[in-house]
Amino acid sequence: MKLPTVALVGRPNVGKSTLFNKIVGKRVSIIEDSPGVTRDRIYQEATYNNKKFYLIDTGGIDTSKMDFNTEIKLQASIAIEEADVVIFIVDGKEGLTSNDLVVRDLLRKSNKKVIVAINKVDVKETKNNLYDFYELGFDNYIPISSIHNTGFIELMDEVTKDFKEVEEKEDTRCKFCFIGRPNVGKSSLINALLNENRVVVSPVAGTTRDSIDSILKYKKSMKISKSIHYLDQ
């Protein structure tokens, strides 16, 4: 089953990457104060309430610097093409700009479900500018603060409304744990079993400090995978 795709679209510096990181739960996109930092489209798998989907952070669209923009515009068009749902992020602090209208025109043509996320609601300017955005002409407007998680649940409920829930399969794999005092050859044995150099083998006692999980497939015909748990004290 192909997972649904959600694209974050909006001009630079509106907070796409900040929201992207909130949704996927880790820092993948680069966040910077200067506009146009995220040049490449970034895809990540994300889950919200057992609903799985792909998330794309587009580079944003800005019409004031043409060279850069042609590229960014192209990226956003691709994202829009691939997405089932588009989160159109606007900067409430800055208010509605002519560049937002350019993005709006692109999105209108896409005929995709568009949710307007009015970001930076934590600053007072946003509250004053809020209603200007209704001029964009979409159905859904959700004020959010990507930094403070305000409106996050409301936004994500709307984004994933038509997505199917995926059942988490129980992990039935056998688990092995390798324990032994340092330097007895645990890592070498595991590497031999896994046939790869996943664990750092070192003659220095206590090299592997963390436990490491690896998946071992024993005999090609066997469907069950076995997990090896390696511990070093």
* Residues listed for the chain: 233
Q: Does 34 bind ligand GDP (CB under 6 A)?
A: no
Residue 29 C-beta: closest distance to Mg ion, Å: 5
Residue 221 C-beta: closest distance to ligand GDP, Å: 48
User: Can you tell me which of 22, 112, 120, 186 binds ligand GDP, judged by CB under 6 A?
Assistant: 120
Q: Does 17 bind Mg ion (CB under 5 A)?
A: yes
Radius of gyration of the chain (CA): 23
Q: Does 33 bind ligand GDP (CB under 6 A)?
A: yes
Q: Does 73 bind ligand GDP (CB under 6 A)?
A: no
Structure tokens at 54: 């792909």
Angstrom distance (rounded) from CA 61 to CA 90: 11
Do β-strands 140-143 and 113-119 pair in parallel, antiparallel, or remain unpaired?
Answer: parallel
Residue 150 CB-density burial (10 A; 0-12 exposed, 13-18 middle, 19+ buried):
middle
Question: Strand locations in 37-179, DSSP E?
Answer: 42-48, 51-57, 85-91, 113-119, 140-143, 174-178
Angstrom distance (rounded) from CA 116 to CA 139: 8
Nearest CB to ligand GDP, comparing residues 34 and 195: 34
Structure tokens at 30: 């680069």
Per CB under 6 A, the segment of 71-79, 120-128, 134-142, 185-193 that binds ligand GDP is 120-128
Nearest CB to Mg ion, comparing residues 16 and 112: 16
User: Can you tell me which of 75, 99, 119, 129 binds ligand GDP, judged by CB under 6 A?
Assistant: 119
User: Can you tell me which of 5, 6, 13, 186 binds ligand GDP, judged by CB under 6 A?
Assistant: 13
- Backbone torsion region of residue 45, taken as left when φ is above 0, otherwise alpha when ψ lies between -120 and 50, otherwise beta: beta
Q: Does 99 bind ligand GDP (CB under 6 A)?
A: no
74 binds, among Mg ion, ligand GDP, none (CB under 5 to 8 A by kind): none
Angstrom distance (rounded) from CA 122 to CA 150: 8
Q: Does 119 bind Mg ion (CB under 5 A)?
A: no
Per CB under 5 A, the segment of 17-25, 90-98, 110-118, 216-224 that binds Mg ion is 17-25
Interface ranges with Mg ion (CB under 5 A): 16-17, 38
Interface ranges with ligand GDP (CB under 6 A): 10, 12-18, 31-33, 37-38, 60, 119-120, 122-123, 145-147
